[in-house]
Amino acid sequence: MKVLLFAQTREATGGRAVLRRDPPPGDPSLAGLLRELEEEFPALRPLLPRCRFAVNGTYLEGAAARCALSPTDEIAILPPYSGG
Amino acid sequence: MTVKIEIPTALRSFTEGAPRVEVEGSTVAEALRALADRFQGLRRHLFTEDGHVRSFVSIYVNDEDIRYLGRETTPVKGGDTLRIVPSIAGGSPGAVAYPSLSRLDRPTAPSAPKALSREQLKRYSRQLLLPEVGAAGQRKLLDSKVLVVGAGGLGSPLALYLAAAGVGKLGLVDFDTVDESNLQRQILYTTPDVGRAKLQAAEDHLRALNPEVAIVRHDGRLTSANAFELLSGYDVVVDGTDNFPTRYLVNDASVLLRKPVVYGSIYRFEGQVTVFDARTGPCYRCLYPEPPPAGLVPSCAEGGVLGVLPGIIGTLQALETLKILLGKGETLLGRLLLFDGLTNSFHELKVRKSPDCPICSPTPTQTKLIDYEAFCGVGAPPSGPEITAQELKGQLDARAPVVLVDVREPGEFDLYHLPGSRLIPRAQLADRLGELSTADDLVLVCKMGGRSAQASEFLRSMGFVKVRNLKGGLDAWAADVDPSIPSY
């Protein structure tokens, strides 16, 4: 999977804009992926609860977050920001 | 195999205006031939006389140039998108650098309607030449009313371009004065404006640019008390603010007044642009129902920003605003456009109207404006222990064993830092916890106190108990302890 990071989530992973990951074998859902990323990058922990997530260009709503991800999916993690 | 072909503006006169056409074909050449069969006028633009795709026509399959694939024999499959990209030489008095087009298909100049004066014809001639604008479109712009909330980094290019285009009434909301540190990106202001009220300076410059635009100054803050009255006089609201409370207020008031919002936001080298309109699409709260906790997201003053970034995003907002007013093109409604300045790339995400949106769903949980400062946690008591600059000074003078951890970026640290402080940028904190001891008395420092508050929170979550945040950061240190340190 291609995981796209933006704004502060990028900084929390040491400036990486894209991560390559496989769907976690234990829990191949978005929640599973986020748990894996949080373990690897603890600085993500305070940010993720306020982020929105898109899979293949479409924002996830509610129950969709529990669907299984596939290895070809592109996941975008978007924190809010308000600069102007 | 049905493939989509995206038609560039320059060729749409041949496709009855259609921006995209679906055709059958299993290679690029087949698909283009099918397109030319349907729209005969396109044939000589796309093919040479012996039936090959013209060399100056760039074709992309799913964003890849076919010259790097199999050229015109590149296979295509169902669902692929083919894009015809003509070379364009705009920016100066140029035309489309498309040999046959520049001669044959230059839009005919619209006949001068009585409504536009000679001066107006001259001033707006370059946009009157666009079939999408013309005299009728220009009339619409002159009759329209746009409110720009925030006259800063985004508001500067917005106000300049909207005034230049002849938007009839341009309202501006801001309470601030021009500061030297604004000039690097807020191109509406000049050096002699430093210290003046922003809107006073803005009005002068915008009037000089286009005297026929009515500039309406709304000095002060947009609040829940004045938002309805202020917004109701305008057709489109443009969000160029720099803080979450005002963004939520702009959104909610616009939803309740049924007005479109052109949204733009920046963070360092990144930006977002979209159009919200709850009547036909999503609103800001469909995207982000709730704000992040106060202090989690650094502002421009804390995070830094390159001036061109708000220039790019604000200009995109101006474009969306003009399209809404003209009723032309496809706006970004339902699409969030993300810009990354470091790679100069755009990414697009679909945003849907949320069935659970607290304000724009059929069963909203909020039907009036609220206290947005409280909603965004601004002014809320800090979540952890703090130390003021003066208290810290006292402890340092008394040689108390405090460990100062500066969580700013190395470049900021180089500008100035407290003697004895050690640099661990916030983003590296998680990886460098080993350098800190839970036994130490830690004081976290940044420029304004926001990043260090977040870092303090993080350290507490990792088991550090003796963590205090320098309240107000080094700005407070400069104000209350040592005015000689450089402020930036």
Hey, which residues 65-84 in chain A have their CB within 8 Å of chain B? 76, 78-84
My answer on whether B298 and B224 are in the same domain is: yes
Hey, which residues 371-430 in chain B have their CB within 8 Å of chain A? 426-430
Asked if residue B141 has pLDDT above 50, the reply is yes
DSSP state, A68? B
Asked if residue B6 has pLDDT above 90, the reply is no
User: For residues B300 and B266, what is the distance between their CA atoms, to the nearest angstrom?
Assistant: 8
Minimum CA–CA partner of A6 in chain B: B270
Give the CATH number, domain containing residue B406.
Answer: 3.40.250.10
Residue B143 has a pLDDT of: 96
Give the CATH number, domain containing residue B14.
Answer: 3.10.20.30
User: For residues A43 and A8, what is the distance between their CA atoms, to the nearest angstrom?
Assistant: 10
Q: How far is CA B438 from CA B433, B456, B462, B463, in A?
A: 10, 12, 10, 7
Q: What angle do CA B276, B280, B282 make, to 5 degrees?
A: 40
Q: How many domains does chain B have?
A: 3
User: For residues B427 and B436, what is the distance between their CA atoms, to the nearest angstrom?
Assistant: 15
- Looking at per-residue confidence, does A59 or B159 come out higher? B159
Hey, which residues 53-92 in chain B have their CB within 8 Å of chain A? none
My answer on whether B363 and B404 are in the same domain is: no
Q: How far is CA B367 from CA B276, B291, B342, B358, B424, in A?
A: 18, 18, 41, 9, 45
My answer on whether B219 and B335 are in the same domain is: yes
Pick the range with the lowest mean pLDDT from A65-74, B207-216, B319-328, B440-449. Answer: A65-74
Q: Is residue B380 part of a domain?
A: no
Q: How far is A58 from chain B (nearest CA, A)?
A: 5
Q: How far is B349 from chain A (nearest CA, A)?
A: 5
My answer on whether B363 and B402 are in the same domain is: no
- Looking at per-residue confidence, does B311 or B408 come out higher? B311
My answer on whether B362 and B466 are in the same domain is: no
Q: How confident is the model at residue B97 (pLDDT cuts 50, 70, 90)?
A: very low
- Point out the catalytic residue in the list B283, B286, B300, B360: B300
Kindly state the percentage of chain B with pLDDT values over 90.
62
Hey, which residues 265-284 in chain B have their CB within 8 Å of chain A? 265-268, 270, 272
Most A CBs within 10 A among B81, B266, B267, hence the mutation to make, goes to: B267
Q: How far is B241 from chain A (nearest CA, A)?
A: 5
Contact B160, B187 (CB under 8 A): yes
Hey, which residues 304-323 in chain B have their CB within 8 Å of chain A? 305, 310
Most B CBs within 10 A among A5, A38, A41, A81, hence the mutation to make, goes to: A81
My answer on whether B337 and B469 are in the same domain is: no
Asked if residue B332 has pLDDT above 80, the reply is yes
Show residues of chain A in contact with B427, CB under 8 Å. Answer: 11-12, 14-15, 43
**H/E element, B254:** helix B244-257
My answer on whether B101 and B234 are in the same domain is: yes
Asked if residue B64 has pLDDT above 90, the reply is no
Q: How confident is the model at residue B300 (pLDDT cuts 50, 70, 90)?
A: low
User: For residues B53 and B50, what is the distance between their CA atoms, to the nearest angstrom?
Assistant: 9
Asked if residue B92 has pLDDT above 70, the reply is no
Asked if residue B113 has pLDDT above 60, the reply is no
Asked if residue B416 has pLDDT above 80, the reply is yes
ipTM score: 0.73
- Range(s) of the domain holding residue B22: 2-86
Q: Is residue B112 part of a domain?
A: no
Give the CATH number, domain containing residue B201.
Answer: 3.40.50.720
Contact B171, B148 (CB under 8 A): yes
Q: How confident is the model at residue B100 (pLDDT cuts 50, 70, 90)?
A: very low
As a whole number, mean pLDDT of residues B371-382 equals 77
Pick the range with the lowest mean pLDDT from A67-71, B276-280, B291-295. Answer: B291-295
Q: How far is B338 from chain A (nearest CA, A)?
A: 9
My answer on whether B229 and B161 are in the same domain is: yes
Closest CB to A57 among B243, B299, B350: B350
Q: How far is A24 from chain B (nearest CA, A)?
A: 23
3 state DSSP class of B135: helix
Asked if residue B315 has pLDDT above 80, the reply is yes
- Looking at per-residue confidence, does B268 or B253 come out higher? B253
Q: Is B376 a catalytic residue?
A: no
Q: How confident is the model at residue B95 (pLDDT cuts 50, 70, 90)?
A: very low
Residue B20 has a pLDDT of: 87
* Residue B446 amino acid letter: C
Residue B27 has a pLDDT of: 93
Q: Is B446 a catalytic residue?
A: yes
User: For residues B37 and B15, what is the distance between their CA atoms, to the nearest angstrom?
Assistant: 11
Q: Is residue B285 part of a domain?
A: yes
Most A CBs within 10 A among B288, B312, B464, hence the mutation to make, goes to: B288
Contact B265, A79 (CB under 8 A): no
Pick the range with the lowest mean pLDDT from A58-72, B108-122, B316-330. Answer: B108-122
Average model confidence (pLDDT) across chain B: 88
Confidence (pTM): 0.74
My answer on whether B190 and B69 are in the same domain is: no
As a whole number, mean pLDDT of residues B450-463 equals 87
User: According to the CATH classification, is domain A8-78 in 3.10.20?
Assistant: yes
Minimum CA–CA partner of B334 in chain A: A58
As a whole number, mean pLDDT of residues B279-293 equals 89
My answer on whether B276 and B324 are in the same domain is: yes
My answer on whether B422 and B276 are in the same domain is: no
- Looking at per-residue confidence, does B365 or B109 come out higher? B365
Count how many residues are written for chain B.
488
* Residue B155 amino acid letter: G
My answer on whether B233 and B153 are in the same domain is: yes
Domain end (from B353, B375, B397): B375
Judge: A80–B241 Cβ closer than 8 Å, yes or no: no
As a whole number, mean pLDDT of residues B313-342 equals 96
Residue B111 has a pLDDT of: 45
- CA B79 remoteness from chain centre: 31
